[in-house]
Amino acid sequence: MNLIALPAFSDNYIWMLHDDANAVVVDPGDAAPVEAALEQRGLRLAGILVTHHHADHVGGVDRLRSRLDGPVWGPAREAIPAPFVALQDGALIEVLGRRFQVIDVPGHTAGHIAYFELGAPRAPLLFCGDTLFSAGCGRLFEGTPAQMAASLARLTALPGDTRVCCTHEYTLSNLRFAQAVEPDNLAVQGHTARCMTIRSTGEPTLPSTLALELEINPFLRCSEPAVAAAALAQGADSTQPVAVLAALREWKNRFR
Ligand code: ZN
Ligand code: FE
């Protein structure tokens, strides 16, 4: 099975999974890069997975329907282009012969879902949309810090070798923020150097892994004393993890 990140807009990725005959794509905000990839490789489009309703994730769905031979799957609690198979937490779907489980991850949007590959012997796939980014998390447009904290906790309970397929190339700017939060975190420094090299060739810094994210992502490190202390200095009400996450998110929103 092949996994490709198709660049779209300025910093989106449309993930494509294919077996050299059939392909599925995740969050096609734009149809053009998907059409080009299908044609270049001679692939049939066998399904579309959607994580949440934002235009940069669903904008290409309707145009792709003309060549789609399979379902559009999406979150039951969001208005995405109909018709689609509405998925609730815990739902199981079969995608190119692999099974994926739906995980509710409210926070960025109210009905945001993620797709986790079940039964993979190693390195299962996680399509997490705009919930978890490498070294960051999504903005809280429709959810609370407590919801985002709970959603991130559900994701970090997955295996450490899980491949984290986020939908934006925000890694370097997130790492700059991570460095401001934890100036002494050597994993952040090491990964920053690696990602600078990767980006200088134009390659994606993704997928990441959950094990790496636990070391470098401040939003997954709210219980670390250094992270809590940094959040307190930025106005957190307490060192409770949810209060720390709330303060980090506010800080990140104004961080340049
Ligand atoms: Zn979004
Ligand atoms: Fe997005």
* pLDDT tens for the chain, residues 1 to 256: 999 999 999 999 999 999 999 999 999 999 999 999 999 999 999 999 999 999 999 999 999 999 999 999 999 999 999 999 999 999 999 999 999 999 999 999 999 999 999 999 999 999 999 999 999 999 999 999 999 999 999 999 999 999 999 999 999 999 999 999 999 999 999 999 999 999 999 999 999 999 999 999 999 999 999 999 999 999 999 999 999 999 999 999 999 8
Q: What is the DSSP string of 40-67?
A: HHT-EEEEEE-----HHHHTTHHHHGGG
Query: For residue 189, what are its two tokens?
Result: 């420094």
* Ion ligand 2 — residues with CB < 5 Å: 56, 130
Compute, in angstroms, the gap from residue 225 CA to the centroid of ligand 2. Answer: 31
User: Looking at the annotation, which residues are catalytic?
Assistant: 52, 54, 56-57, 108, 130, 168
Compute, in angstroms, the gap from residue 121 CA to the centroid of ligand 1. Answer: 30
What domains are there in the chain, each with its CATH number? 2-254 (3.60.15.10)
Compute, in angstroms, the gap from residue 11 CA to the centroid of ligand 1. Answer: 12
Compute, in angstroms, the gap from residue 12 CA to the centroid of ligand 2. Answer: 7
Tell me which residue of 19, 81, 23 sits closest to 50, measured CA to CA.
Answer: 81
At 190, is the secondary structure helix, strand, or coil? helix
Ligand having the closest approach to the CA of 140:
1
Give the Å distances, CA to CA, from 137 to 27, 61, 65, 140: 17, 24, 30, 9
Residue at token pair 């994993």: 187
